[in-house]
Copies of this chain bind each other. A is one copy, B any other.
Amino acid sequence: MPLAPLFRPIDVAPAYQKVADAIEREIVNGRIKPGDPIGTEHDLVRQFGVNRSTIREGIRVLEEGGLISRDSSRRLHACLPRYTRLASRLSRALVLHEVTFRELYEASMTLEVASIEGAVERATEENLAELSDNLARSEAVIGDPAMLAECDAEFHVLVAKASQNRVLQLAREPAAQLFYPTTEMTVTGVAEGGPRLVAAHRHLIEAIQRRDREAGVLWTRRHLQDWRRGFEKIASLDRSVEHMYMEHAQAARRR
């Protein structure tokens, strides 16, 4: 019969980790609010009683996690983690796991349909204004696939935003970051690709305005199917996402 456990496992995390955890705890449970200053490295050295190098390693960890950042004067303060920044970590992971475009397509279908449903139900006037503005800009660059692809990505971010569901916004982001960089190629490959894309956006905006869920779902599906048709002219859906996207993601993360 095994002995009854006398001791609890003791916490042997390195000091920099403990520093990071301690600060994280204060932020997450609200004692330090987003925007609050954290203090200088020297302050933290005094408070934690460890060397500045140790503090700095702990800070890097939190900074990478998006929990704290440095303002223009490089002073530390807590902040609300930005979705796109975090999502780019996930996109990177998806690339390394070599997910296929089929997985991306299927997941995006689900997530974008859910987004439009939410948007149809809850979009505000302001959301609609943003979407219309985006549409206008899209029409202006209809002949430029790169610019148009950028507008398209933004459009779908705005739709997700209009759904007023931040969980959904976050969930779709990693897939979107990998998905939308290909739009440029798919638009180029299909005759009338640009106009079709913009037309779909217009129908989506109208659907939201009319609170017409059916139309919203329908046009989201068509829009994605257009992407798929365009993509399959270039490559198989079963190809894994390529490394080239990471440059895009890396640039986005830095912002």
* Interface size of A as a range: 35 or more
Residues in B with CB closer than 8 Å to A96 are 27-28, 34, 80-81
Within 90-133 of A, Cβ neighbours of B (below 8 Å) are at: 90, 92-97, 99, 103-104, 106-108, 110-111, 114, 118
Partner-contacting stretch, out of A38-46, A55-63, A183-191, A198-206: A55-63
Residues in B with CB closer than 8 Å to A93 are 66, 80-81, 83, 86, 170
| Nearest Cβ on chain B to A140's Cβ, whole angstroms | 20
* Inter-subunit contact A65/B89 (CB<8 Å): yes
Residues in B with CB closer than 8 Å to A65 are 64, 89, 92
Copy number in the complex reads 2
Residues in B with CB closer than 8 Å to A56 are 53, 57
> Is A193 on the interface with B (CB-CB < 8 A)?
no
Closest to A21 in B: B250
> Is A161 on the interface with B (CB-CB < 8 A)?
no
> Is A215 on the interface with B (CB-CB < 8 A)?
no
Closest to A96 in B: B80
* Inter-subunit contact A64/B66 (CB<8 Å): no
Question: In the complex, A83→B92 CA distance in Å?
Answer: 11
Closest to A33 in B: B96
Give chain A's interface secondary structure class: helix
| Nearest Cβ on chain B to A254's Cβ, whole angstroms | 8
Closest to A64 in B: B64
Partner of A99, one of B27, B29, B167: B167
| Nearest Cβ on chain B to A124's Cβ, whole angstroms | 16
| Nearest Cβ on chain B to A68's Cβ, whole angstroms | 12
| Nearest Cβ on chain B to A217's Cβ, whole angstroms | 12
1/0 per residue, CB under 8 A from B, across A48-92: the answer is 000001001100110111110000000000001101001101101
Counting from the closest, the 5 A-B pairs by CB-CB distance are A107-B167, A81-B93, A110-B114, A64-B64, A60-B60
Question: Knowing that A28-B243, A106-B165, A171-B171 are A-B contacts, what are 11 other residue pairs whose CB atoms are under 8 Å apart, sorted by A's residue number?
Answer: A28-B95, A29-B246, A30-B243, A80-B93, A87-B90, A93-B170, A94-B167, A99-B167, A106-B118, A106-B168, A171-B175
Which residues of A are interface residues toward B (Cβ below 8 A)? Answer: 16, 21, 24-25, 27-30, 34, 53, 56-57, 60-61, 63-67, 80-81, 83, 86-87, 89-90, 92-97, 99, 103-104, 106-108, 110-111, 114, 118, 164-168, 170-172, 174-175, 243, 246, 250
